[in-house]
A = this chain, B = another copy of it.
Amino acid sequence: MAPLTEPLTLSIDAMGGDKAPGMVVEGIEASLEGPRQVKFLLFGDEAKLSPLLESHPKVAQVSEIRHTEDVISNEEKAGVALRAGRNSSMRLAINAVSGGETAGVISAGNTGALMAMAKFVLKTLPGIGRPAIAAYYPTRRGESVMLDLGANVDCDADNLVQFAVMGEVFARNVLGLDQPSIGILNIGAENLKGNEAVQKAATILQDSSLPIKFYGFVEGDDIGAGTVDVVVTDGFTGNIALKTAEGTANLFGDFLKQALTESPMAMLGAFLARPALKKFKMRIDPRRYNGAMFLGLNGICIKSHGSTDAIGFANAIHVAVELIENSFNEHIKEDYEQLSGHAPDLKRVVGGE
């Protein structure tokens, strides 16, 4: 791990995101507070980036532009992006990680293309069959992590077990939890207990001698309750659960705003409670949780929400720094090694597909 005084360098896909590159440069500026020195390689259109750096001298001081011609659009299919996007800002930003020039990459661009390119360029870590998208989120008890959030639409039991192990390593090393608990997302009605993959994955985790704390099945409402530290699910369900939670939070926020502006008395009350309401708003601010991690790749790759603003993008940068400073990928490698030794019966599963 590099000492704090030695800057680490990150690749930035400066052209990814609905409001790029302006939002990206502002996001870098917003990320500059904090003890860690970070340098940035900005991959994108120099003609657009140069004036932005001129008007953001603090960013200019720590950034270097790498001119790129192409941009991957949000509509581009992953396969096409992979073949035709070799000179895109996204691809060259990823290449810099594999070349060792930067310690990680952040993009607010096309998720499918980013995953396809990152997988192709960085490759998966030894023992990982498929990378997963993970994110952490607020719960009643603190913070938990959920994966997969959309990288793998169809998952079998082995995939889910691998996600469980990656999530455990993340919760221990990055969230700093001593013995994180793992749950598999399932439906609640007795007798209707889920599909074959979740059943089989639960059996593997239950019967195994893996030194991880398997809680069993959890339901949708356990996500917000923080019943477990790691929620494991397939990418289809995980993506929908995450977005449903976001949508519910938005709806709730709208309803609250409507209620607190409906009468002069309500407005006065809201005014008096303003610091408390502000703190409340901050606590559930989705920007604080922006930055989905592509776990299982041989390199740090963070996906920012495409529609986020500077505060959200700054958070995605912090997520990358956190994974790098906690040597996350080293820990995954070590733990997989150890797990294979500890539970030889699981070698097939944790040894990849």
Contacts and interface: CB of A to CB of B under 8 A. Distances in A.
A190 B74 contact: yes
Q: Which label, helix, strand, loop or mixed, suits the secondary structure of the A interface?
A: helix
A346 interface: no
A259 B272 contact: no
Nearest to A268: B272
Copies of this subunit: 2
Contact of A263 (B239, B271, B276): B276
A48 to B, nearest CB: 23
Central interface residue in A115, A187, A188, A219, by most chain B CB within 10 Å: A187
B265 A280 contact: no
A246 B249 CA distance: 10
Given A76-B190, A189-B239, A244 B273 contact: no
Contact of A269 (B219, B245, B254, B274): B274
Contact of A244 (B78, B115, B116, B244): B244
A216 interface: no
Contacts of A169: none
Interface string A201-244: 00000000000000000011111110000000101110111111
Given A112-B192, A239-B188, A273 B280 contact: no
A246 B139 CA distance: 13
B245 A245 contact: yes
A247 B222 contact: yes
Interface in A16-40: none
Nearest to A80: B191
A262 interface: yes
A61 interface: no
A239 B187 contact: yes
Interface residues of A, number: 78
Contacts of A225: 247, 250-251
A236 B237 CA distance: 8
Nearest to A250: B224
Contacts of A113: 190-191
A284 B266 contact: no
12 contacts: A75-B190, A188-B239, A237-B240, A252-B252, A255-B284, A259-B276, A259-B280, A260-B280, A265-B272, A265-B273, A269-B272, A269-B273
Given A79-B191, A255-B280, A266-B275, 7 more contacts: A219-B239, A221-B250, A244-B245, A252-B252, A258-B280, A259-B280, A260-B280
